[in-house]
Amino acid sequence: MIRTGLVTGAARGIGRAIALRLARDGLNVVVNDIQASSSDLQNVQQEIEQMDTSVDDWDKIFANMRGVFLCYKEAAKIMITQGRGGKIIGACSNAGYKPHPMISHYSATKWGVRGLTQAAALEWAPYNITVNAYCPGITKTSLFDRFNEELAEFQGKSKEHLMEDLLKTVPLGRVGYPDDIANLVSFLASKNSDYITGQSILMKSKEGPLTKSIRFTAALILRNIARYS
């Protein structure tokens, strides 16, 4: 029987790589994404220095957890009705293991995804449904490239210099790529992972010290994630 996989956020970056990998693995892949308006960054320095989390900011960033919750719930309904089990794989982050200053609202969503993944795995195990999540660190996508370029301009550095600062926190000495994450999802979606459930798997080694540049990068990315997503 040919399996079917639904990939949300599949238009670009990590979602696109996952969709293509699962298709190469022989799954029927259903893709989904949304279109969101974006505008140029305004007064970046003020945004980063203040980093006040408004109720609106909190609600926007909590789409990270709400989206995973809704996808988990609806996927489980279908799988339980079909009676054939299945595999549910969610998007988490290394911030789900190590919270960072200035992005407490983002970290909270990812810790929430970890907890939800563990609880859902326990609830749906009797139906032969496994639930896991992937937790990437710095990942080279077009969105990250854009943030990196704008942050380098803001700090008066070259993109190369800024990237060197970022890589000091990564023991393997390189950023992640969407295909790295897609390979993990491929494994979690295969029969080889049948005995793995409730896990949120980190995609990088332990971080080094959190430098000022890294804090600025995290702040910029998460502060504007709703604008650019």
14: exposed, middle or buried (Cβ count in 10 Å: 0-12, 13-18, 19+): buried
Which has the closest alpha carbon to 194: 134, 128, 133? 128
Nearest to 129 by CA among 93, 82, 69: 82
Please confirm, yes or no, whether 110 is among the known catalytic residues.
yes
Q: Report how far residue 123's alpha carbon sits from residue 167's, in angstroms, rounded to the nearest whole number.
A: 39
- Of 72, 106, 134, 204, which one is the catalytic site residue? 106
Length of the chain measured in residues? 229
Distance, in Å, from the CA atom of 216 to the CA atom of 193, rounded to the nearest integer, reads 37
Q: Where are the beta strands (DSSP E) in the chain?
A: 4-8, 28-32, 86-91, 129-135, 200-202
Distance CA 84, CA 7 (A): 19
Q: Among 110, 157, 168, 212, which one carries the catalytic annotation?
A: 110
Contact between 131 and 120 under an 8 Å Cβ cutoff? The reply is yes
Give the residue numbers marked as catalytic.
106, 110
